[in-house]
Structure 1
Amino acid sequence: MRRASARRLATAVLVLSTLVPLALVAPPVQAAPPRAAVSATGTQADDCPPHGLDPALVAGLDKAIEDVRQQTGVPGVTVGLWIPGRGSYVRSFGVADKVTGAPMTPDLNMRIGSETKTFTATAVLELVDDGLVRLDDPISAYLHGVPDGDHITVRQLLEMRSGLFSYSADQGFVTALLSHPTRPFTPHQLLAYAFRHPNVFAPGTQFQYSNTNYILLGLLVEKLGRMPLAEFIRERVTRPSHLHRTPFPLGAEFPRPHAHGYTNQTPTGAIADTTHWNPSWGWAAGAMISDLSDLHRWAKGVATGALLSPATQAQRENFIPVPGFDGAGYGLGLFQTHGWIGHNGSLPGYESVTVYLPEQDATLVILLNTDILYNGNEPSTLFAKAITSLATPGHVYDLPAEG
């Protein structure tokens, strides 16, 4: 969920980076000729053997996905759709590397941007179940130095209603990141960018997506969980969920095989290869990596509260309507749109969608290797809308861009 504007780094979906001078970033490259769709046979999630959907629907999905890819200029995309009782669809289109022309395939590691928030929020809610955190306590009860922290609750941080300025909207931060996209940022450096601005509204009175909220939540997990955030998420979230290819990187490391990512978020607007940009600037708000198989498992688990008590999951599912997003709401690190529950992700070079539809026990995962907007819309949203319009016409995913 991201607002489209000139300050795109202020969005719901960005991540951290360890940076080097822009001159060291790979120069813009031209797209390789499109490849044919690649079947996912043998690379689907282990718990979901391939079973084909109705052939007419498969043909419709193939065409719709490739049409969106060609229209938006997305180099490569992988789609996984699982609907029990009807079948599954896992395919990749286009290229993972515009230089070599290597095809996109379903087994590639991808950066997942703000989908990281679902993991950070789950960690916080586990601490709630442990009795170490109370949702309606002020953040000042746990962390010092937060502007108006005596009145901003943990719940308001989770649901994007704190009023704290998003560090990723600070022009100094944007300049620092894009001029040296491999430099590292610490959580406290990120908060310093945010805290030099006044809060934008009184706590609890409005909704505004702010990455600052999740940096604070990451620090909360580290303090009360008594271990680094990456370790806590590994031990308490990804390992119990059997997610073996979903790391929280400490720097720019990127397990192979992975797709190259492409962005126009550069000082000149030229397209750059972001594969080795450091995501440390997103940290608890967007630094994680995953793949199709793991996100397939995670979608239902996070949407249904597999790691949480029923009472805490009920709190998480209190989706409050978001102005400007018809049919959508935001809960505690999750959104819902027309019945689909989950999160999207975006950072320079990559976008993703991981959502679950309880009514049909259906899961949709989309992974692509660019974040370049098309007519002001995130390409991940355009893919998701096209896919669900065909597969679940009564539940069409849609997150309209805001100007």
Structure 2
Amino acid sequence: MRYSRTCRRRLCAGIAAFGILVAPLGAGAALAAEPPAPGPYAAIGQPAVPGPYLAAAPAAQGDFPELTPAVAERLDKAIQDVMKEAGVPGVTVGLSAPGKGTYIRSFGVADKETGQSMRPNLFMRIGSETKTFTVTALLELVDQGKVSIDDPISRYVDGVPNGDRITLRNLASMRSGLFNYSADEDFYKALTQNPDRPFTPRELLDFAFKHPIQFQPGAEFDYCNTNLILLGLVVEKVSGTPLHEFIQKNVLDRAGLDHTVFPTDATIPNPHAHGYTVQTASGQVEDATDWNPSWAWAAGAMISNLQDLRTWAGVVATGTLLTPKTQAERLKVYPTDIPGAGYGLGIFNIQGWIGHNGSLPGYESLTIYLPEPRATLVVLLNTDTLHDDNEPSTLFGQAITRIVTPDHVFDIPVTAAAPSSPSPSKN
């Protein structure tokens, strides 16, 4: 397969969008499909869990509306408008707040070949939302006294450039100064030539470590998948357990997430939605459902569904699995180059909404929580194709929050979706 330099410039840059795992196969023009009629409501999931939260711009309880049929009608139209505009095949949305009701809706198709409808119970790849699980695992080890968040990474992983100065906190807060392996030209070639091939964590680090450090730790914010690969290795070394097993036992089981998986191969559980990406050189849409996510590992390989992510939104934002002290450390946000946005330890705060988004070839997701009304929003869709340089998950987040929380609109400006550094392939 061949890919254009435009694709490489956008996707091999250090950050394609704030909080989004850079996905080297997921660029291109918007799809042209018309979204089918909306699917039925489905009452699933659990209310989010109250607890401590970020102090940035909370909404008052009265600011979140009751999810009446009239509000649901407005949400239906806004979501379908985004689908049509951005060419999204299928999307599932879950929105709720205690005492305000629940809106759960699926629109469009999960499989373009068969016409299977999108449904709320389908498994989806969640990309960089994986980071919230990996960092939670690390912070559990902090609570157990087995690591300190301010330990240098050199204590756990050999050969890290500047590793005696880069702390685990620098890694989790995206302020390490390390080069992003997914911006490396050789990585790009290896992945695009064979998207089914497996990568080991060490192979991913090798792509990053041949580059010089970008800045001294703590000096800047730079979203970097290399950071999470290192944190995954720390969890493995300290626990003596493979990362996927540690997360299963200590995060997923404890949180009651029975439909979330850290895969060790390309398998995606059934029932699942098919994911679609655009091969930019030809403009052809490809089914990326079974592409191997090992290249994302601790930074973006996980799979989940709406029910589990609705639960996880409150768990991760309120610190259910952590001590209050450690959760407070997690929620200390550091400045970014995006107005109204801060990044903590593997979690963001955008206009008061706390959580993460994710992108992998064929899929995007958004799981966020607004503390004061204890509102939860989850969006899952089966394309990662940009529309006017915007991630489609951001477009859905904007459209929905403009209706229910107009003072707290989830917004990542178009300028933040542009590459922050030149492509390594530039010639």
TM-score, normalised to structure 2's length?
A: 0.87
Deviation, structure 1 residue 32? 6.4
Deviation, structure 1 residue 400? 1.8
Deviation, structure 1 residue 16? 9.2
**C-alpha contact 1:81 1:362 (8 A) present in aligned 2:** yes
Task: Give, in whole Å, the separation in 2 of the partners of 1:46 and 1:211.
Answer: 31
Find the residue that maps to 2:81 and give its secondary structure. Answer: helix
Confirm whether residue 110 of structure 1 aligns to residue 110 of structure 2.
Answer: no
**C-alpha contact 1:83 1:363 (8 A) present in aligned 2:** yes
Greater mean alpha carbon deviation, residues 256-265 or residues 357-366: 256-265
Pair 1:312–1:369, CA change in 2 (3 A): same
Percent of aligned positions with the same letter in both sequences?
A: 59
Residue number in structure 2 paired with 1:328 = 341
**C-alpha contact 1:135 1:153 (8 A) present in aligned 2:** yes
Confirm whether residue 369 of structure 1 aligns to residue 370 of structure 2.
Answer: no
Q: Which of 1 and 2 has higher RCO (CA within 8 Å, sep 6+)?
A: 2
Deviation, structure 1 residue 31? 6.9
1:380 to 386, 393, 400: 393
1:13 to 12, 20, 25: 20
Superimposed CA distance per residue, residues 262-295 of structure 1 (whole angstroms, 9 cap, x where no aligned partner): 1125554432110000100000000000000000
Pair 1:268–1:32, CA change in 2 (3 A): closer
Deviation, structure 1 residue 134? 0.8
Deviation, structure 1 residue 14? 3.1
Aligned residues: 384
Confirm whether residue 45 of structure 1 aligns to residue 48 of structure 2.
Answer: no
Task: Give, in whole Å, the separation in 1 of the partners of 2:281 and 2:199.
Answer: 19
**C-alpha contact 1:108 1:256 (8 A) present in aligned 2:** yes
Residue number in structure 2 paired with 1:259 = 273
Superimposed CA distance per residue, residues 283-317 of structure 1 (whole angstroms, 9 cap, x where no aligned partner): 00000000000000000000000010111001000
Deviation, structure 1 residue 13? 3.1
Task: Give, in whole Å, the separation in 2 of the partners of 1:272 and 1:73.
Answer: 14
Structure 2 residue identity aligned to 1:14: L
Structure 2 residue identity aligned to 1:199: I
Deviation, structure 1 residue 5? 8.1
Confirm whether residue 233 of structure 1 aligns to residue 247 of structure 2.
Answer: yes
Deviation, structure 1 residue 39? 1.6
Q: Which runs of 5+ in 1 are unaligned?
A: 23-29
2:236 to 222, 227, 234: 222
Task: Give, in whole Å, the separation in 1 of the partners of 2:39 and 2:73.
Answer: 14
The 5 Å alignment of 1:84-233 reads 84-233=98-247
Pair 1:98–1:359, CA change in 2 (3 A): same
Task: Give, in whole Å, the separation in 1 of the partners of 2:399 and 2:258.
Answer: 30
Task: Give, in whole Å, the separation in 2 of the partners of 1:15 and 1:277.
Answer: 15
Deviation, structure 1 residue 86? 1.5
Q: Which runs of 5+ in 2 are unaligned?
A: 1-6, 26-30, 49-65, 419-427
Pair 1:301–1:217, CA change in 2 (3 A): same
Find the residue that maps to 2:386 and give its secondary structure. Answer: coil
Superimposed CA distance per residue, residues 32-72 of structure 1 (whole angstroms, 9 cap, x where no aligned partner): 66321112325x11669xxx822221110000000000000
The 5 Å alignment of 1:383-402 reads 383-401=396-414, 402=416
Task: Give, in whole Å, the separation in 2 of the partners of 1:131 and 1:176.
Answer: 39
**C-alpha contact 1:72 1:379 (8 A) present in aligned 2:** yes
Find the residue that maps to 1:271 and give its secondary structure. Answer: strand
Residue number in structure 1 paired with 2:74 = 60
Task: Give, in whole Å, the separation in 2 of the partners of 1:31 and 1:257.
Answer: 25
Pair 1:5–1:384, CA change in 2 (3 A): farther
TM-score, normalised to structure 1's length?
A: 0.92
RMSD of aligned alpha carbons: 1.9
**C-alpha contact 1:388 1:396 (8 A) present in aligned 2:** yes
Pair 1:47–1:84, CA change in 2 (3 A): closer
Confirm whether residue 310 of structure 1 aligns to residue 324 of structure 2.
Answer: yes
2:294 to 250, 257, 280: 280
Residue number in structure 2 paired with 1:74 = 88
**C-alpha contact 2:46 2:310 (8 A) present in aligned 1:** no
Superimposed CA distance per residue, residues 307-346 of structure 1 (whole angstroms, 9 cap, x where no aligned partner): 10111001000011211x1110000000001110000000
Find the residue that maps to 1:222 and give its secondary structure. Answer: helix
Deviation, structure 1 residue 136? 1.2
Confirm whether residue 301 of structure 1 aligns to residue 308 of structure 2.
Answer: no
Find the residue that maps to 1:189 and give its secondary structure. Answer: helix
